[in-house]
Amino acid sequence: MKKTIPLVITFLIGFYMILAFFVPHPMVANSAQEMQSWEIIIVAFTLVLGIGNLVFVHAEKIQRRRQGWFYSLTLLICLGAMMALGLFGGIKEGTSYYWLYDNVMAPLSSAMFSLLAFFIASAAYRAFRARNKEATLLLIAAAIIMIGRVPLGSWLWQHIPLLGAKFPILLDQVTRWVMEVPNTAGQRGIKIGAALGAVSMALRMLLGIERSYLTTGGN
Amino acid sequence: MKKYWMLLLAAGLAFPALAVDPPANLKVCDAPNDDGRSVTITWNKSAAETADPVSFKGYRVLRAESASGPYAEAGFAFPGSVEFADNAVAPGVQYYYKLNAVTFSDSAQTEPAGPVISSAQWFNVARVNILIAFLAFTGLILLYIYKARHGADLFVRRIAGLQAVDEAIGRATEMGRPILYLPSGGLSAVSDIQTLASLVILGRVANKAAEYDTPLLVPCSDPLVMTLAQEIVKSGYMNAGRPDAYRAENIRYLTNEQFAYTAGVDGMMVREKPAANFMIGTFYAESLILAETGYSTGAIQIAGTAMITQLPFFVAACDYTLIGEEIYAASAYLSKEPVLLGTIKAQDWGKAAVIFLILAGVLLQTLALKFPSLGFFSRWLMPR
């Protein structure tokens, strides 16, 4: 029963949403829209579960004085302070909550994102080594794209003897071809496969064949 | 100087602005395939727009419930438009429309067009091709499930990333270090099909981790994913006969802020040094930051996603990558259950059908350059 009820709900709601995709009449579309609104409301309530878990895990760490407990204490103080500021002072522009978000949270996120540039460099260094035929092909394609797409690229190309000066627009044409033909074809292939995979997975779930998301592996 | 200004003004007055013609051929019709709240208005361009595009402002669409009015503005169409969708009408009500061509100095109005009554449709005809594809694909899946249930031998190609799952768990066990499993990145929710596919693989990993008594860490960015992951891991430990080894605090919620989540996971990688990292699901810009940090800690890494933009990062930084469809095939591949394998076979035939349709489309569309009647294929697949 514990498994059957969720499976029946999944089947009914899932196929109703598929029906709503093909039926624009308000009789069906409005109720489907209503269900999506309910989903948003339920998801908002689950945030309480998440925060509860966060508080529980870190409170236990502080209580048992585990390694790094001081950071957990800082986290809980910050969480409490932000919640109190938001609840009692509001979250609009000009409030303390807004100021803290704008001057602490946003710069920290930006700093984290900016690290991506350095990680790209280190990953590219490893990926672009000509270890075999495929890696060599990747290296050549990447080099062409990099020269063709960076602002300095065209200047560099013009100064390559016997090539850049003789064929001034060749680099641009080759870059465009690599991006538009093999790259797009590869992407489309993956997208088609992934879309069919997603449909197949969804159907398995709707038909109750795939139950491992409820427990492990349908054992 | 004043003299020149006066002369210029006199010249302007001597040549009055061109008279504006109202747009011709105003037509109104109920928008097809909608919920009865839209009317489509079409017209031919006003001659004033062609004659003096600089001073032409656009078309004011006016709506009334009777031909004599009163008319109220329903919207404004910019120069170049020949169609307007009025999405603010009530179904079953009779409407009349007028169009006002407006320049900076003048305007001209058409005669009323109508009446038009918008009604809701029970079937979206524009999506009939999707319905056919859906039914055909569902039919294929049911056929292969039937075949599998009757003992057909179904071959599925080797997927290196999935074969490496046991190897990664074994390595973590030998090294006495935990396993880190990310069911999605910092922005995904449980409604995402990739996250669900990832949770299926998590079940297998949890089962093995419990058998080998290796700690499994699952930091989540979505509270619902966390709840589901806790249930799945708990179940995995119970199936392995080790419910005592299950630690609920290891499957924890971090935050739903993308980069705060990334920083949190990076911290776990650096502090707890997991020997095997699984990153399977929907990932955005955090993918490479996570994968490179994992690489720097020396962990064996298995990643998988259907996000085209993130795949190259995973390929560059991880030991194994499940590309697109492979993450959806995981449950069937790992369990070897005939019914699940049947759906994978149907998926392969679906791909074969898509390849055939692409080839046929390319051929017909190329021939349509010479013989336009052969262009029916693209017109049918992409209805307006």
Q: How confident is the model at residue A215 (pLDDT cuts 50, 70, 90)?
A: low
Nearest by CB to B120, from A26, A68, A193: name it.
A26
Find chain B residues with C-beta within 8 A of A212's C-beta: 199-200, 203, 232, 331, 335
Per-residue pLDDT, averaged over B271-300, amounts to: 93
Q: How confident is the model at residue B280 (pLDDT cuts 50, 70, 90)?
A: very high
Q: Is the pLDDT of residue B284 over 50?
A: yes
**Measured in whole angstroms, how far is the alpha carbon of residue B62 from the centre of its chain?**
36
Angstrom distances, CA of residue B136 to CA of B131, B141, B328, B347, B353: 8, 9, 20, 11, 10
How does pLDDT run across A4-53, given as a tens digit for each residue? 888 898 889 989 999 999 998 888 888 998 988 888 888 888 889 899 99
Q: Report yes or no: A19 at the B interface, CB cutoff 8 Å.
A: no
How does pLDDT run across B51-100, given as a tens digit for each residue? 777 777 888 888 888 888 788 888 888 888 888 888 888 888 888 998 88
Q: Report yes or no: A78 at the B interface, CB cutoff 8 Å.
A: no
Kindly report the nearest CA distance between residue B248 and chain A, in angstroms.
Answer: 9
Find chain A residues with C-beta within 8 A of B235's C-beta: 215-216
B87 vs B18, more confident: B87
Alpha-carbon distance of A190 to A56, in angstroms, equals 42
**Measured in whole angstroms, how far is the alpha carbon of residue A98 from the centre of its chain?**
25
Q: Is the pLDDT of residue B166 over 70?
A: yes
Q: Is the pLDDT of residue B13 over 60?
A: no
Highest mean pLDDT among A149-163, B98-112, B238-252, B363-377: B238-252
Q: Report yes or no: B356 at the A interface, CB cutoff 8 Å.
A: no
How does pLDDT run across B306-344, given as a tens digit for each residue? 999 899 889 888 999 999 888 988 878 887 788 888 888
pLDDT of residue B19: 65
pTM > 0.90: yes or no: no
Q: Is the pLDDT of residue B125 over 90?
A: no
Alpha-carbon distance of A213 to B332, in angstroms, equals 13
Angle between helices B128-149 and A4-22 (to 10 degrees): 150
Per-residue pLDDT, averaged over B173-193, amounts to: 90
Write out B151-176 in H/E/C secondary structure: CCCCCCCCCHHHHHHHHHHHHHHHHC
Find chain A residues with C-beta within 8 A of B357's C-beta: none
DSSP B211-275: HHT--EEEEESSHHHHHHHHHHHHHHHHHTT-GGG--GGGEEE--SSHHHHHHHHHHHHHHH--S
Q: How confident is the model at residue B3 (pLDDT cuts 50, 70, 90)?
A: low
Query: Which of A145, A178, A212 to mutate against chain B (most B CBs within 10 Å)?
Result: A212
pLDDT of residue A212: 72
pLDDT of residue B382: 63
Q: Do B257 and A25 touch (CB under 8 A)?
A: no
Q: Which two tokens stand for residue A140?
A: 């050549």
How does pLDDT run across B131-153, given as a tens digit for each residue? 998 898 888 888 888 888 887 77
- Residue A183, C-beta contacts closer than 8 angstroms, at least 6 positions apart: none
Q: Which residue has the tokens 């210029």?
A: B8
Angstrom distances, CA of residue B195 to CA of B3, B5, B139, B189, B317: 76, 71, 26, 7, 21
Q: How confident is the model at residue A219 (pLDDT cuts 50, 70, 90)?
A: very low
A216 vs B229, more confident: B229
Find chain B residues with C-beta within 8 A of A218's C-beta: 335, 337
Q: How confident is the model at residue A60 (pLDDT cuts 50, 70, 90)?
A: very high
Percentage, residues of chain A above pLDDT 90? 37
Q: Is the pLDDT of residue A90 over 60?
A: yes
* Averaged pLDDT score across all residues of chain A: 87
Q: Report yes or no: B177 at the A interface, CB cutoff 8 Å.
A: no
Q: Which two tokens stand for residue B108?
A: 């001209």
How does pLDDT run across A176-196, given as a tens digit for each residue? 999 999 999 999 999 998 998
Kind and range of the H or E run holding B202:
helix B193-212
Residues in chain B: 384
By DSSP bridging, strand B56-64 and strand B94-103 are antiparallel
How does pLDDT run across B336-376, given as a tens digit for each residue? 788 888 888 888 888 898 889 889 988 998 998 888 888 77
Q: Do B239 and A216 touch (CB under 8 A)?
A: yes
Q: Is the pLDDT of residue B267 over 80?
A: yes
Closest Cα in chain A to B249? A57
Write out A166-192 in H/E/C secondary structure: CCCCHHHHHHHHHHHHHHHHHHHHHHH
Alpha-carbon distance of B121 to B119, in angstroms, equals 7
Alpha-carbon distance of A196 to A192, in angstroms, equals 6
Taking the CB of residue A123, how many other CB atoms lie within 10 A of it? 22
Alpha-carbon distance of B63 to B74, in angstroms, equals 6
Q: Report yes or no: A173 at the B interface, CB cutoff 8 Å.
A: no
Q: Report yes or no: A2 at the B interface, CB cutoff 8 Å.
A: no
pLDDT of residue B2: 58
Half-sphere exposure of A62 (CA within 13 A, CB side): 14
Pairs of residues, one from chain A and one from chain B, whose beta carbons lie less than 8 Å apart: 208
Of B263, B259, B187, the closest CA to residue B225 belongs to: B187
